[in-house]
Amino acid sequence: ATGESHEGKENDDSVARPVKVKCVRVSTMVRAVETADIISKVFEDNGISSAFQNQDSVREDTVGEVEKRKKGTIRRTPGDPNINEGRPAHTVPGGRVSSSTIQRVDKDHERAEIAFHQYFYRSDPPPSVLNYFRHTPLTTAADADADADLSMNPALPDDEARHEFEIIVCHGNMIRYFFCRLLQLPPEAWLRLTTFNCSLNYFVIRPTGSVSCRTMGDVGHLPYDKTTFSMHHGFNW
């Protein structure tokens, strides 16, 4: 698409598709909590409130929580120190490091793995989706991934066909590590990636178990003078 074809579409609600946000998760670090507060405020301005969750489980919803979401409430989980910033894995290539650095990385890696397995997993699809796959022959894995975009299939009920989203507000090193783990890439390569401050990362986990990254470090919502990475400004550094 060209810029001309998108002109005037910035505030056109007709091009937006509804999404079902399950929850907002956040680290315990101040900058992440402040960002999560801003996100929650946007939901509240659109008539959707945030309800803080106190229980430890992150995968299972009680009947009451499901009913709250139906009434326009998004779950806000307590801060999770496992997704605080750190060095989630040793890097390759890498230089000489001290024994204290090795111990620190090993400790951060342990909690990064806990967070990865806790938040990124394949959910069981609803019954209508299972029934769809059961009666629709698929010849290749690529066909399965293509058909997994069930929101475009008119045969499925709208409420069950829409994707369910989870928002995780955390930090660049952890995001880069999760990117490598999700795409089954060597996690030691995480430092070769760049995630700008306040950037968006969009991962899709399908019922088939396949994973895609639709955006990584996306800063299209920021002006150039607000684009930063570490102590750098803009892109040319």
Q: Domain for residue 139, yes or no?
A: yes
Name the percent of the chain in helix, strand, coil, to the closest 5.
40, 15, 45
Q: Which residues pair with 181 in a beta bridge?
A: none
Residue 52 or 79, more confident: 79
For the chain, give the mean pLDDT: 81
Q: Domain for residue 31, yes or no?
A: yes
Give the domain extent around 196: 16-92+100-233
Q: Domain for residue 9, yes or no?
A: no
pLDDT in tens, 216-228: 999 999 999 999 9
Q: Domain for residue 6, yes or no?
A: no
Q: Considering the entire predicted model, what is its pTM?
A: 0.76
Q: Domain for residue 8, yes or no?
A: no
Q: Domain for residue 151, yes or no?
A: yes
Helix (H) or strand (E) holding 26: strand 20-26
Q: Domain for residue 1, yes or no?
A: no
- Name the amino acid, one letter, at 223: P
Pick from 229, 193, 197, 198: nearest CA to 213: 193
pLDDT in tens, 93-149: 888 999 999 999 999 999 999 999 999 988 776 666 667 667 766 555 445 454 455
Angle value at C-alpha 133, between 161 and 139, nearest 5 degrees: 125
CA–CA separation, 224 vs 235, rounded Å? 8
Q: Which residues pair with 205 in a beta bridge?
A: 211
Q: Domain for residue 49, yes or no?
A: yes
CATH assignment at residue 65: 3.40.50.1240
Whether the Cβ atoms of residue 217 and residue 195 lie closer than 8 Å to each other = yes
Q: How many domains does the chain have?
A: 1
pLDDT in tens, 74-86: 999 999 999 999 9
